[in-house]
């Protein structure tokens, strides 16, 4: 009885282990579509930063740094085929990871979300 239970647990574990990568696979067309959307998101974020600069809430230098952070976060997301830091999936998060606006969270760097 114990042997059958152990065999069943091992079999179930293996099924789950092999099923996860299959669900995680992204086709080339999906990857292209996701990358296009990431570029659109980055463009909109940069526009928001520009509006903050125009309104005097950010200096020009701060705006440029935030836009560089946005570019770095977008590049990271594209290279790693995932939402990446700042989208609630992986990354260092509160301790210096990129947030959705391309800035750093809590522990340094500029953060457009706090303006």
Q: Residue 39 — pLDDT band, cuts 50, 70, 90?
A: very high
Is the pLDDT at 10 greater than 60, yes or no?
A: yes
Of the candidates 26, 113, 1, the one whose C-alpha atom is nearest the C-alpha of residue 78 is 26
What is the mean predicted confidence (pLDDT) over 48-73?
96
What does pLDDT average to over the chain?
Answer: 74
pLDDT at 43: 97
pTM here? Answer: 0.55
Round to the nearest angstrom and report the end-to-end CA distance of the chain: 63
Is the pLDDT at 70 greater than 70, yes or no?
A: yes
Cα–Cα–Cα angle for 53, 107, 83, rounded to 5 degrees = 75
């Amino acid at each position: 009885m114990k042997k059958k239970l152990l065999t069943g647990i091992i079999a179930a574990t293996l099924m789950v282990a092999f099923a996860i990568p299959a669900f995680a696979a992204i086709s080339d067309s999906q990857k292209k579509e996701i990358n296009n959307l990431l570029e659109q998101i980055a463009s909109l974020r940069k526009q928001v930063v520009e509006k903050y600069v125009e309104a005097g809430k950010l200096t020009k230098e701060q705006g440029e740094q935030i836009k560089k952070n946005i570019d770095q976060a977008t590049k990271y997301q594209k290279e790693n085929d995932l939402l990446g830091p700042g989208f609630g999936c992986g990354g260092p998060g509160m301790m210096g990871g990129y947030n959705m606006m391309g800035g750093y969270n809590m522990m340094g760097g500029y953060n457009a979300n706090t303006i």
